[in-house]
Amino acid sequence: MRFVSFFHQLQPELGRRIRLRRLQLRMTQRDLAGNEFSSSYICQVEKGRLLPSLPAISLLAQRLAMSLDDLLPLQAPQDEGLQECGRNTGACPGRDGQE
């Protein structure tokens, strides 16, 4: 479930970065769309309503002269169980017979 939440949170930031870079390059949505996408598709991505596939993100990054690292706001979702692991006691809940 956290994985799905992570991608839901990714959408608006990815769209913001795409739009900002497109405007910096003085491109229209049609320019960015090329033959592979529609301008409506780019609009939906920029508004954070649609998360493109990884191949689509890669192509958009290429057209925007950006690396995937610069385009994708990747932060691993925090796993509360992992955060607790080792804190103060050095033990993980449910591991080593501890709960």
What is the per-residue pLDDT across 64-93, written as a single tens digit (0 to 9) for each? Answer: 999 998 888 765 444 444 344 444 444 444
Question: Which CATH class name applies to 2-82?
Answer: mainly alpha
Please report the pLDDT score of residue 5 as a whole number.
59
What are the extents of the domains in the chain? 2-82
> Whole-structure pTM over 0.85, yes or no?
no
For residues 17 and 84, what is the distance between their CA atoms, to the nearest angstrom?
33
Strand boundaries in the chain, DSSP class E: none
Report how far residue 1's alpha carbon sits from residue 36's, in angstroms, rounded to the nearest whole number: 31
Comparing 81 with 49, which gets the higher pLDDT?
Answer: 49
